[in-house]
Structure 1
Amino acid sequence: MASLREARRKFCSAAAAAAAPRSRWERLKSGKAGVWCRSLLSDYREACREAVVSAWERPLRTSLYGTLLGGAGACFYTRPDQQAFEAALLERSNQLGLLSAWVRSAVADGHVQRLVKLRNEGRLRWASLGLVSVLYHADHDASTMLYEAQCSNLSVPWRELPRRGLDVGFAGRWWVLDSKMKDYDVNEEEFKHLPVHMQATSPPSVQEVERNERLHRESQLPLTMEEEEEEGRPVDRKQGG
């Protein structure tokens, strides 16, 4: 009889515990959202474990992938924007302004003058393509209230970007502008009347550089008495004769 009362008491306590309201956190964990989150975390944990094991087993491939991802990240964060281009254009324009028109390169001067003209007209546009930046020109200023300038259907299509492109920014540099500014202090028009083999010069060899340096050092040495006497002897003979 006592065992029957004990069993009844346990059954009643279990029923009361089951009937008691559960907390919000327990309901959330046992719900669909909780089950989905636990399965998602389990999948991510398993994927990370497999990645660590694969990196340990294939270190060369892992190093290659890491280098590629690191290089892509560096290119993404170092790509120049439109403000960087305007700063570079101002610096190049100042460099050309310090030179006379007879000295500066016509190619560099024409390219910089065209970019400055487009900038003053408000027609320069900048677009980011992820790892690189592209600079191109539009037909109108962005603040122009003409219908052709404000209508989105008449804006510059992407297929015309290669034809309108002006420069490409990559790894912190604007490559077209830098290439145009190469030898910006050499005017090619001054040498066009020369023969073809004299229009281009090659850098001197090591022997020529050493010879020029030796001659320069010897030219700074003082003259000795023997050399002065030898230089004066023909004069004396001429005077005696």
Structure 2
Amino acid sequence: MASRLTTRMFCAMRETANIPHSQSRWEKLKNSKAGVWSRSLASDYKEACREAVVGIYEHPVKASVYVSVLGGALTCFLSKPDKSSFEAALLERSSQLGLLSSWIRSATSDKHVQSLLKLRNEGRLRHINLGILSIIYSTDYDPDSTLYEAQCSSLSVLWRNLPGRVLDVGFVGHWWVLDSKMTNYDVNEEEFTGLPVHMRVTAPPGVQEVELNERLHRESWLALKLQVEK
């Protein structure tokens, strides 16, 4: 009986010695489906990067154009203004107009700013983020209003009607319609309606006119020279 047990023990030890060692955790992970997929993905990215480098070396002009376009798009995306910046710009323009008398400020600028302020106070201004630019448009009702027309989704602004409601476009850190309306905001155009057409338009002085004015200004500070008659 004892000899039989000893024989079985030695047989078991021999069989155990012939069994290969189990794989480590890293080898199991590397040979799993996730590991194979990760290695394949890394290989694809490596090949894509190599082809990109070769393409840049072989076609530098084309690569420069692509890089410029991508860089410009990224710059536009990062510098895109939001709704809070529009409201801040609107309040700033309103303050600038408020410092001027009604006889001086531009009626076009004042009318545009006052209409935007009215829509803002009524809660009818909306903002759309389009990636590289922003759009401000108007709606008929405040979304916080309890009116049926304001809460019914079927009566909301349709996409085909949106172009007619656009009030401003934000691009590269500027609100272009608001800035254009504020051009010469301290000039009242109605004061010049009685003048002839050729006198309503002014042009910046040329280089010679500027030099002449500067010379006359310097000469005005010189002391007068009196000549004694003999």
Tell me the TM-score range normalised by the shorter chain: 0.7 to 0.9
Matched, 1:55 2:56: yes
Residues 127-147 of structure 1: CA deviation (Å, up to 9, x unaligned): 110100000011111211122
Q: In percent, how many aligned pairs have the same letter?
A: 64
TM-score normalized by the length of structure 2: 0.87
TM-score normalized by the length of structure 1: 0.83
- 1:156–1:102 CA distance, 2 compared to 1 (3 A): same
Residues 152-180 of structure 1: CA deviation (Å, up to 9, x unaligned): 22221222121000000000000000000
- 1:14–1:175 CA distance, 2 compared to 1 (3 A): farther
| Counterpart for residue 202 of structure 1 | 203
Q: Equivalents in 1 of 2:63, 2:112: separation in Å?
A: 44
Letter in 1 for 2:186: D
Residues 60-115 of structure 1: CA deviation (Å, up to 9, x unaligned): 22222111111111110100000101111111111101100000001000000001
| Counterpart for residue 118 of structure 1 | 119
Alignment of 1:1-241 (within 5 A): 12=15, 16-17=19-20, 22=23, 25-226=26-227
| Counterpart for residue 8 of structure 2 | none
Q: Between 27-36 and 91-100, report the one with greater CA deviation.
A: 27-36
Residues 185-216 of structure 1: CA deviation (Å, up to 9, x unaligned): 10000001111111111222222222222222
| TM-aligned CA deviation for residue 15 of structure 1 | 5.1
Q: 5+ residue gaps in structure 1?
A: 1-10, 231-241
Q: 5+ residue gaps in structure 2?
A: 1-13
Q: Equivalents in 2 of 1:50, 1:96: separation in Å?
A: 58
Q: Equivalents in 2 of 1:127, 1:101: separation in Å?
A: 34
| TM-aligned CA deviation for residue 23 of structure 1 | 5.0
Q: Equivalents in 2 of 1:110, 1:193: separation in Å?
A: 22
Letter in 2 for 1:75: C
Q: Equivalents in 1 of 2:101, 2:16: separation in Å?
A: 102
Residues 9-59 of structure 1: CA deviation (Å, up to 9, x unaligned): xx9568522xx6555554443333332222222111111111112122222
Q: Equivalents in 2 of 1:25, 1:151: separation in Å?
A: 59
**RMSD over aligned Cα, in angstroms?**
2.2
